[in-house]
Amino acid sequence: MSPKKLDGRIALITGASRGIGAAVARLFASHGAHVILTARPTGGLKETDDAIRDAGGAATLVPLDLRDFDKIDRMGAATAERFGRLDILVGNAAVLGVLGPTGHMKPEVWQEVIDVNVTANWHLIRSFDPLLRKSDAGRAIFVTSRITSGVFPYWSAYAASKAALETLARTYASEVQKTSIHVNLLDPGIVATAMRAGAFPGEDPATLAQPDDIAPAFLDLALPSCGKHGEVICA
């Protein structure tokens, strides 16, 4: 049997209760990583955990609303105490908000999109950068969208949040250029997820790429041998 590609690595994955996050968690665990999984829906987290354990993998569940920023800091402290480092950070969790005219959006909707898609990722960097530096090959992967490549009416909050995330991640990448940490953004493309279904309710998800189809792109960026840094990768 060939060695597992992530054997002994510690990986944190946000939004791991379903969709892309759950698929990445299952794949990482199958390659030997101990995965720390966060999400709001505890039922979905348990399903992901069951699938991982049934396949012989190991996971730690952290039910968490990423808007509770203090809990992100406490999660960092708990990870440091238990594992002493973090090898892989996957900032996957995101919310769509409401599609509609920019001026008609309710302030609380705008704030949730910015909090989850941008500010929470800043808190993750703030809390886990010291632990990534303790890894021999720290890897940070943030999920972006090709929506940043154009202008799409009625998508203002989501598009603005992903553009901000890209700038945040690229800036962080430049700051850790001389360390063993590599930071990249991954655009999964059009994938059958709950968010996609919310934006395009008439679409047949069976005609789209599935989360398991694009999970290997995350694995490539998580490997200690990956040399990519500061890039936007399309799955």
Residue-wise pLDDT for 77-135, tens only, equals 999 999 999 999 999 999 999 999 999 999 999 999 999 999 999 999 999 999 999 99
Q: Two tokens at 107? A: 């302030």
Task: Work out the number of other CB atoms within 10 angstroms of the CB of residue 107.
Answer: 7
Tell me the mean pLDDT in the region 134-159: 96
- pLDDT the model gives residue 154: 97
DSSP letter assigned to residue 45: H
Whether 73 and 125 have beta carbons less than 8 Å apart is answered as no
How confident is the model over 35-48, as pLDDT tens digits? Answer: 999 999 789 999 99
Tell me the mean pLDDT in the region 212-234: 97
Whether 32 and 9 have beta carbons less than 8 Å apart is answered as yes
Q: Report pTM.
A: 0.96
Q: What average pLDDT is seen over the chain?
A: 96
> With bands split at pLDDT 50, 70 and 90, how would you rate the model's confidence at 191?
very high
Scored b (16 or more CB within 10 A) or e, 37-46 reads: bbbbeeebbe
- pLDDT the model gives residue 42: 83
Show which residues are catalytic.
158
Task: Return the residue matching tokens 């991640």.
Answer: 169
> With bands split at pLDDT 50, 70 and 90, how would you rate the model's confidence at 61?
very high
- pLDDT the model gives residue 2: 61
Beta bridge partners of 142: 91, 185
- pLDDT the model gives residue 219: 98
- pLDDT the model gives residue 3: 75
Distance CA 48, CA 61 (A): 10
